[in-house]
C-alpha cells in the first residue's frame, strides 16, 4: 500500500520538461531553452495549472561531449549537450518531487524518476544540442536527422522528427539491439 501511495503522490507533484512546439503545452521561448514547471496537486493528464514556471537556458549550462549508442538511430554517434540532471538541478525541484514528465513535440511523454540515483546513473540522460554523424564530420548544431522507418502494424505511430534538441541516454534498458551499420547516416541500418 505504501508504494501505491508514493506513486500517486509523485504523479500529483510531477515536474514537466517541454521541448519546443509541444501540443500539450505552450512552446518554450526559443530552441535553446527548456521550460520547466510543477503540476498543481491533483492535476490529471491534461496538465492543469502550472506552478513555479521557469525557463532554463541550455547554452548557459556546461556542454558535455560524448559518444553514445543511440537506439533510435541504430548506431554510435558523437553528441554535445547538457546532462538532464544538470537541468533539473538548475531548476531546484522541491524534495517532495521525484518524477519528471518529459514532454516531446510529437505529443509523447516519458516519465523519469530523477531521484532514483541508480536509474539516473545508468541512463545518464543528455539533452543533445549537437550531433556528429561520422568521426570525420563536424558537429551539426540543432539539426538532428529524422528517422524513416516502416510503420505498418502500429496503432499509434508518432513521427520521429527532432527539433533543436534530442534526448540521448547512456545505456538503454533493455539494451540497444545490435545492428550492422551499412552507412554513417541514421536510419541506414540493416539487421543481421
pLDDT digits (tens, 9 = 90+) for 2-36: 433 332 232 323 344 443 333 444 443 456 888 88
CB 165 within 8 A of CB 31: yes
Residue 96 pLDDT: 84
Q: Does residue 169 surpass a pLDDT of 50?
A: yes
CB 167 within 8 A of CB 128: yes
Percent of the chain beyond pLDDT 70?
Answer: 63
> Distance between the two ends of the chain, CA-based, in angstroms?
46
Q: For the chain, what's the residue count? A: 192
Range of the domain at 21: 2-190
All three cell numbers of 3, joined, read: 508504494
Percent of the chain beyond pLDDT 90?
Answer: 27
Indicate the pLDDT class of residue 190, thresholds 50, 70 and 90: very low
Residue 156 pLDDT: 61
| Least confident window among 24-33, 77-86, 150-159 | 24-33
Q: Is the pTM for the entire model greater than 0.85?
A: no
Q: Prior bond to 182 cis, omega within 30?
A: no
Residue 131 pLDDT: 95
CB 88 within 8 A of CB 73: no
Among 102, 103, 99, 137, smallest CA distance to 115 is for 99
Residue 74 pLDDT: 86
Sequence-distant (6+) residues with CB within 8 A of 131 are 77, 78, 79, 139, 140, 143, 144, 145, 166
CB 25 within 8 A of CB 103: yes
76: left (phi over 0), alpha (psi -120 to 50) or beta: beta
* Number of domain units in the chain: 1
Q: What value does the mean pLDDT of the chain take?
A: 73
Predicted confidence (pLDDT) per residue in 41-69, tens digit: 766 666 567 788 888 888 899 999 999 99
Q: Does residue 38 surpass a pLDDT of 50?
A: yes
- Residues facing residue 189 across a β-bridge: 181
Amino acid at each position: 500500500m505504501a508504494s501505491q501511495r508514493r506513486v500517486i503522490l509523485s504523479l500529483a507533484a510531477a515536474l514537466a520538461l517541454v521541448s519546443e512546439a509541444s501540443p500539450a503545452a505552450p512552446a518554450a521561448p526559443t530552441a535553446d531553452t527548456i521550460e520547466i514547471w510543477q503540476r498543481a496537486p491533483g492535476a490529471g493528464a491534461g496538465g492543469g495549472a502550472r506552478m513555479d514556471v521557469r525557463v532554463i537556458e541550455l547554452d548557459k549550462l556546461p556542454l558535455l561531449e560524448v559518444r553514445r549508442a543511440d537506439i533510435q538511430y541504430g548506431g554510435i554517434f558523437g553528441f554535445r549537450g547538457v546532462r538532464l540532471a544538470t537541468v533539473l538541478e538548475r531548476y531546484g525541484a522541491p524534495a517532495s518531487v521525484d518524477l519528471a514528465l518529459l514532454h516531446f513535440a510529437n505529443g509523447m511523454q516519458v516519465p523519469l524518476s530523477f531521484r532514483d540515483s541508480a536509474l539516473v546513473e545508468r541512463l545518464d540522460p543528455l539533452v543533445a544540442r549537437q550531433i556528429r554523424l561520422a568521426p570525420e564530420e563536424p558537429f551539426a548544431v540543432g539539426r538532428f536527422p529524422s528517422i524513416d522507418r516502416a510503420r505498418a502494424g502500429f496503432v499509434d505511430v508518432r513521427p520521429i522528427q527532432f527539433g533543436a534538441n534530442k534526448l540521448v541516454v547512456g545505456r538503454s534498458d533493455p539494451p540497444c539491439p545490435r545492428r550492422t551499420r551499412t552507412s554513417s547516416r541514421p536510419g541506414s541500418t540493416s539487421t543481421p
